[in-house]
């Protein structure tokens, strides 16, 4: 299988602080890959090494099967977490300038910018200055800047942040469309619901290290149907019973919980019915958010121990 | 290289299109012009006609002084050094003579001066011829020009009387007491150029301000541009396409090109308007500007020294910009870098008067002051060619080191947010990169 990106034992330290610690993963061509982790886990440091902004202390980064070089970066698109555009310049000027830096000629860049603005409902804003736009609109412009040179590999750091539901929907369709064209996409986010729907594989990093890596479907399957989604009215004291419940995420009248090892879901239902009215009871695979919280918490416990 | 060009182009266009650029381009020459013309205009206005009375028992002496005073407005003379010789400052005198001194008269004249009916009066005792002393009463003791002219007229009157006593005719004594003319002639490579004191002082001063202001302003532009990219986080997007070195080079060259454009506009406007402007200045300042000119070397070397000074300071300012998160933060750090520039301005006055002192020499070799000080020296005198060459060579060599140093600080700094780095941290950046 051809890999768009290969990280091999990449390490980056700032003084004493190790931001990225021997991180290795590969992204197969044409996949949507999720790089997940809590704040400060080393996601941005990792991404910066993928596009040559910083150089790893040790380990290797390979892009399109070759060691990372400036020339290859023209085939990479980057949407940074912190939005960055020239505020005093017009949208079109911003887009054309950034496309030119990636080697696209002005007429072609202008044509593509128009097309993209049209597609993302910004056709009327081309001649406005960036500072006049709302946050969500700036976000869309930033996205266009990352894809206008039709890169084969896109690195998108929190692409959905600041977008309203309609905007998110449009962007999701665009991403699926890009995937259909065979492009590889790396997502960096802590918004689990989008990852769950879009990603093929994930790498969960915490404190600079990979704690969970693999194909999303397989990861979820490995956890089995050991989770319960419950809609209820009343009290559920059983949530604190360690013989039944390993962990839970309670929303007041809805709860997601992981069964304790060996616990019987049937028994859980019986106990629950004694103290509350149950409107829905479903045995499911754990959501990615649960896996995320669970893994992050358990690695934290290991590190603190 | 193509990417550097793109960055240069963006920096250039964004800046040239701003209103600030257009306003500054128009305003700067106007401000400098006003700085020259207004003070002389104000001095002119304060001159006017002075009403004074000369009180002396000796009517011949009194009338002689009156004649001298009346003539002093029009005469072009004096032993005063040339730069101070600004004829139009002199007031006209409306002089009356009173040959009956008395305490009552003194009281009356004093009252008149106090009430402003009179500008002043001279009190000359009978023994004045031997003591050579007199009193001048006026409301404004600081108006020394007036007192000086009265004193001068008094001295002339006394000398004339003395000369007449020795048998000199009136015409002969006039010649004897008349002025001698000493003009300064600057000798440079092109030969001798007659240049008059004040013009020779003002034009280099004009050029000094121009080079100082442009170096400072465009240096600060580079700093603000770095901070802008940092605070708007464009930097992160850009670094996905270009190296920090390309970015910094493009930025410094782009902003420098804007500076050259501005200087070009000023030079063109100066050549076109210069004739008219100079004529106007001449009217105000009198003949003192009649031979003012900028030498060919000073014209040609302006862009050279602007570029050297600008590049040196642009590097320093780029490094400062990279260390800071906001304009406010940068303002504090800016000061140590601006200090040598201010030092240049302080020393420049003395150097214009005497461009060949050891201080002038060393300041024109030290890379942080050389572009400005060397240029000042060139505009007032003709320093040896080897000194000019050495100054440029040292400047270029230090620039090479500076680019190396600041690009390292820049590389690391542009990605650092939050706390401003300490000096040891910055040294670490330099080693790290």
Nearest Cα neighbor of A147 from A122, A189, A179 is A179
Nearest Cα neighbor of B408 from B309, B315, B301 is B315
pLDDT of B74 higher than 60? no
Given an 8 Å threshold on Cβ–Cβ distance, is A145 in contact with B237?
Answer: yes
Who wins on pLDDT, B218 or A70? Answer: B218
CATH 3.40.50.300 domain residues, chain A: 3-220
pLDDT at A77: 92
Given an 8 Å threshold on Cβ–Cβ distance, is A82 in contact with B236?
Answer: yes
Q: What residues of chain A lie within 8 A of the CB of B237, using their CB?
A: 78, 80, 84-85, 98, 142, 145
B17-21, B27-31, B222-226: range with lowest mean pLDDT? B27-31
Residue A172 burial class via C-beta count within 10 angstroms: exposed 0-12, middle 13-18, buried 19 and up: middle
Q: Is A190 helix (H, G, I), strand (E, B) or coil?
A: coil
Report the C-alpha gap between A286 and A222 in whole angstroms: 10
Q: Does B238 touch chain A (CB under 8 A)?
A: yes
Given an 8 Å threshold on Cβ–Cβ distance, is B241 in contact with A73?
Answer: yes
pLDDT of B220 higher than 70? yes
Residues 6 or more apart whose CB falls under 8 angstroms from that of B33 comprise B277, B281
Task: For an interface test with A, give the residue of B234, B251, B421, B427 to mutate (most A CBs within 10 A).
Answer: B234
Q: Is A18 helix (H, G, I), strand (E, B) or coil?
A: strand
Average pLDDT, chain B: 79
Q: What residues of chain A lie within 8 A of the CB of B232, using their CB?
A: 84-87
Q: Does A53 touch chain B (CB under 8 A)?
A: yes
Name all domains of chain B by residue range, CATH numbers in brackets: 2-40+196-432 (no CATH), 48-182 (3.40.190)
Which residue in A has a C-alpha nearest to residue B1's C-alpha?
A101
Q: B426, B320 in Cβ contact below 8 A?
A: no
Given an 8 Å threshold on Cβ–Cβ distance, is B242 in contact with A80?
Answer: no
Given an 8 Å threshold on Cβ–Cβ distance, is A80 in contact with B241?
Answer: no
Residues 6 or more apart whose CB falls under 8 angstroms from that of B130 comprise none
Report the C-alpha gap between A162 and A191 in whole angstroms: 12
What kind of fold does domain A3-220 have according to CATH?
Rossmann fold (3.40.50)
Report the C-alpha gap between B398 and B312 in whole angstroms: 8
Given an 8 Å threshold on Cβ–Cβ distance, is A85 in contact with B10?
Answer: no
pTM over 0.80: no
Residue A203 β-bridge partners: A35, A213
User: Strand B120-124 to strand B135-138: parallel, antiparallel, or no bridges (unpaired)?
Assistant: antiparallel
Please state the rounded mean pLDDT for residues A123-135: 87
Count CB-CB contacts under 10 A for residue A177: 11
Q: A89, A97 in Cβ contact below 8 A?
A: yes
Tens digit of each residue's pLDDT (9 = 90 or more) over A4-54: 999 998 998 877 788 888 899 999 999 999 998 888 888 888 998 888 888
pLDDT of B85 higher than 90? no
Q: What residues of chain B lie within 8 A of the CB of A52, using their CB?
A: 239
Q: How far is CA B332 from CA A62, B143, B326, in A?
A: 43, 44, 11
Q: Does A13 touch chain B (CB under 8 A)?
A: no
Packing angle of the helix pair B370-380, B296-323 (nearest 10 deg): 170
Confidence band of B280 (pLDDT split at 50, 70, 90) = low
| Element housing A156 (H / E) | strand A153-157
Tens digit of each residue's pLDDT (9 = 90 or more) over A228-245: 888 998 888 888 888 888
Q: A106, A96 in Cβ contact below 8 A?
A: yes
Task: For an interface test with A, give the residue of B237, B429, B432 to mutate (most A CBs within 10 A).
Answer: B237
Tens digit of each residue's pLDDT (9 = 90 or more) over B250-267: 999 999 999 889 888 888
């Amino acid at each position: 299988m051809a890999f768009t990106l290969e990280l091999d034992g990449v390490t980056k330290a700032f003084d004493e602080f190790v931001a990225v610690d021997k991180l290795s993963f590969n992204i197969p061509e044409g996949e949507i890959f999720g790089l997940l982790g809590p704040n400060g886990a080393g996601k941005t440091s990792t991404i910066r090494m993928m596009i040559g902004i910083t150089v790893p202390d040790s380990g290797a980064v390979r892009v399109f099967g070759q060691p990372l070089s400036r020339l290859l970066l023209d085939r990479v698109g980057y949407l940074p977490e912190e939005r960055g555009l020239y505020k005093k310049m017009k949208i079109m000027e911003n887009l054309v300038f950034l496309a030119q830096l990636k080697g696209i000629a002005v007429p072609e860049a202008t044509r593509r910018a128009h097309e993209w603005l049209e597609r993302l409902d910004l056709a009327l804003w081309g001649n406005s200055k960036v500072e006049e736009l709302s946050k969500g609109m700036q976000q869309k412009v930033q996205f266009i800047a990352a894809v206008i040179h039709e890169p084969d590999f896109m690195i998108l750091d929190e692409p959905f942040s600041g977008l309203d539901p309609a905007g998110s929907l449009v962007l999701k369709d665009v991403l699926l469309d890009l995937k259909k064209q065979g492009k590889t996409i790396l997502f960096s986010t802590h918004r689990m619901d989008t990852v769950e729907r879009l990603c093929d594989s994930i790498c969960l990093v915490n404190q600079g290290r990979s704690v969970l890596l693999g194909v999303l479907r397989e990861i979820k399957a490995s956890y089995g149907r050991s989770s319960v989604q419950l809609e209820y009215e009343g009290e559920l004291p059983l949530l604190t019973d360690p013989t039944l419940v390993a962990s839970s995420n309670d929303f007041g009248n809805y709860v997601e919980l992981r069964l304790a090892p060996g616990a019987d879901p049937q028994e859980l239902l019986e106990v629950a019915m004694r103290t509350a009215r149950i409107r829905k009871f479903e045995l499911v695979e754990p959501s990615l958010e649960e896996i995320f919280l669970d893994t992050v918490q358990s690695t934290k416990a290991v590190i603190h121990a | 290289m193509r990417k550097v060009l793109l960055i240069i182009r963006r920096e250039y266009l964004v800046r040239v299109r701003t209103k600030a650029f257009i306003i500054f381009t128009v305003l700067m020459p106007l401000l400098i012009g006003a700085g020259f013309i207004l003070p002389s205009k104000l001095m002119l206005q304060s001159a006017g006609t002075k009403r004074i009375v000369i009180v002396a028992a000796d009517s011949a002496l009194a009338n002689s002084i009156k004649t001298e005073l009346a003539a002093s407005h029009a005469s072009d003379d004096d032993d005063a050094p040339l730069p101070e010789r600004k004829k139009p400052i002199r007031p006209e005198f409306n002089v009356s003579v009173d040959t009956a001194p008395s305490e009552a008269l003194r009281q009356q004249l004093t009252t008149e001066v106090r009430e402003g009916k009179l500008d002043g009066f001279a009190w000359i005792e009978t023994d004045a011829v031997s003591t050579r002393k007199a009193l001048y009463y006026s409301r404004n003791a600081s108006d020394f020009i007036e007192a000086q002219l009265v004193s001068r007229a008094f001295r002339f009157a006394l000398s004339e009387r003395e000369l007449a006593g020795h048998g000199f005719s009136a015409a002969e004594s006039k010649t004897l007491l008349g002025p001698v003319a000493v003009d300064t002639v600057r000798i440079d490579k092109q030969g001798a150029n007659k240049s008059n004191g004040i013009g020779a002082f003002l034009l280099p001063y004009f050029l000094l301000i121009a080079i100082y202001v442009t170096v400072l302003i465009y240096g600060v532009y580079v700093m603000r541009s770095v901070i802008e990219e940092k605070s708007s986080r464009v930097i992160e997007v850009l670094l996905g396409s270009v190296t920090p070195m390309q970015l910094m080079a493009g930025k410094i060259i782009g902003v420098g090109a804007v500076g050259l454009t501005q200087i070009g506009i000023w030079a063109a406007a100066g050549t076109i308007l210069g004739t008219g402007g100079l004529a106007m200045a001449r009217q105000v300042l009198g003949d003192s500007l009649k031979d003012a000119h900028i030498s060919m070397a000073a014209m040609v070397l302006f862009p050279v020294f602007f570029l050297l000074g600008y590049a040196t300071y642009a590097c320093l300012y780029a490094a400062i910009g990279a260390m800071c998160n906001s304009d406010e933060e940068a303002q504090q750090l800016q000061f140590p870098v601006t200090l040598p520039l201010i030092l240049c301005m302080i020393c420049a006055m003395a150097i214009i008067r005497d461009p060949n002192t050891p201080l002038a020499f060393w300041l024109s070799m030290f890379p942080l002051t050389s572009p400005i000080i060397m240029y000042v020296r060139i505009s007032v005198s003709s320093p040896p060619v080897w000194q000019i060459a050495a100054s440029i060579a040292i400047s270029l060599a230090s620039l090479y080191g500076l680019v190396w140093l600041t690009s390292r600080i820049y590389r690391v700094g542009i990605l650092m947010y939050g706390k401003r780095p300490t000096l040891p941290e910055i040294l670490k950046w330099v080693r790290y990169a």
